[in-house]
Structure 1
Amino acid sequence: MIQTTIFNSHVKEYDAWYEKYTEVYQSEVTAFREQLLKLPENIKGIEVGLGTGRFSQPLGIKEGVEPATEMAAIALKRGIEVIAGTADNLPYKDLQFDFVLFATICHLNNIKEALKEAHRVLKPKGSIIIGFIDKNQTIGKAYEEKRLESTFYRYATFYAVDTIKKYLTETGFKNLEFNQTLFGGLDEIKEVQIPKEGFGDGSFVTVKAIKK
């Protein structure tokens, strides 16, 4: 896969982004944490496409899936149990987890298959939590404009909120709850932002939904 090869070849560049844009990164973590706090305590979940563990580690997620071996090696050093695999063919049995988290979806090969797989491995009434750059907001538009200049976003797919709503509903999820963060341009964000409910203003959106 082209994107897996890119991430394996540029893992240091990928990880350095989080140091350069610390406030952006921490704002995203805060938005995810707000969604996770809505879940019951003492539950088991995974992150799909966990990269170098930048989200799993601060969110307390102990295991997950990552296809890029060089990225997975760093996640292992951060204390995450990593299984090789892809989002559209998760290496787990049915009904295993209370939640599945996707910190990003723009690099998925087949988003609907990934959502179906998340639905399969979730227990009844389990939760899916997804974070994504809203293509209709400031940062999403900037990424689209500079797509061909970017190592990581050249082959990415950015989504509008309505599209994600549609895909979640079609793959068996309900009770969608949104929050948003990253208000302003990427280089304008100089402090960690508190997420707001809903969507339509922030460039980074998270959604929590329940398995039907």
Structure 2
Amino acid sequence: MGMIGMKKTVYDKHAKDYDSWYDRNPVVYASEIEAIRKLMPSDTGKNSIEIGVGTGRFASKLDINCGIDPSVSMLEIAACRGVRCIKGVSEALPVKSSSMELALIVTSFCLMDADLTLQELHRILTPEGHFIIAFVEKNSILGKKYRKKAPKSRFYRNIVFRTTEDIVSLLEEHGFGDITVMQTLFKPLNLIHRPEEAEKGFGRGSFIVIKARCIKNE
């Protein structure tokens, strides 16, 4: 079950609660933003989109042109942050083929059908366009914590946690290459008191950012 299924109703009902996490964890949020920013191409212009945009916390800070999400409640908050919003799902994107230079997914890939989503991303990206995915690494400090609390959590129940190797393999299987990996959040969240500097690679950080190029044989 991907974004089309029941998981979206949780975010409709608890959009403000979800969004408030970033207000309670501003240093963590800043660290995540900077890690993504390090991999952002400089020439995406207006042709950029965040899939699973949620409340627009990342799109608004990273100058992403528009965002897609199935949750109307989340999109209402994102619109207040200046994000151009489209209601839709990752598995059937209402976007023209080869029209986007950059696509971003932040911490919501675990809610999506991986194969259908990556097929759609490959379709909408221009040749040489980029896809950036940010997620909590399954075997990291934070990943282990989230997996432990998942059965009782309204947000984490039934989601799919993946390792960095899992994500890289999926990207390569679906026509993406030239992969770069960054990491941040090297300590438990309660011990992070200032924004962290992201590092290349993976294996230490809980928050992973991967940039991959869309390869099309045209």
Give the TM interval when normalised to the shorter protein.
over 0.9
Change (3 A) 1:156 1:41: closer
Q: Which one of the candidate residues 153, 156, 160 is aligned to 2:159?
A: 156
TM-score normalised per structure 1: 0.96
Separation (CA, whole Å) in 2 of partners of 1:41 and 1:61: 9
Separation (CA, whole Å) in 2 of partners of 1:135 and 1:39: 30
Q: Which one of the candidate residues 10, 15, 38 is aligned to 1:6?
A: 10
Q: Is the 8 A contact 1:107 1:155 kept in 2?
A: no
Q: Which one of the candidate residues 20, 23, 38 is aligned to 1:19?
A: 23
TM-score normalised per structure 2: 0.93
Unaligned runs of 5+ in 1: none
Unaligned runs of 5+ in 2: none
Q: Which residue of 2 aligns with 1:131?
A: 134
Matches within 5 A, 1:108-187: 108-187=111-190
Question: What are the superposed Cα offsets for residues 27-68 of structure 1, whole Å, 9 maximum, x if unpaired?
Answer: 1111111110x4435352100000000000010112020100
Tell me if 1:30 matches 2:34.
yes
Tell me if 1:90 matches 2:132.
no
Question: What are the superposed Cα offsets for residues 111-132 of structure 1, whole Å, 9 maximum, x if unpaired?
Answer: 1211111110000000000001
Separation (CA, whole Å) in 1 of partners of 2:44 and 2:72: 31
Separation (CA, whole Å) in 2 of partners of 1:41 and 1:159: 28
Separation (CA, whole Å) in 1 of partners of 2:190 and 2:159: 21
- After the TM superposition, which segments of 4 or more aligned residues of structure 1 sit over 2 Å from their partners? 38-43, 105-109
SS in 1 for 2:97: coil
What is the aligned-residue RMSD (CA, Å)? 1.2
Q: How much identity, in percent, do the aligned residues show?
A: 37
| Higher deviation after alignment, 129-138 or 149-158 | 149-158
Change (3 A) 1:48 1:101: same
SS in 2 for 1:193: coil
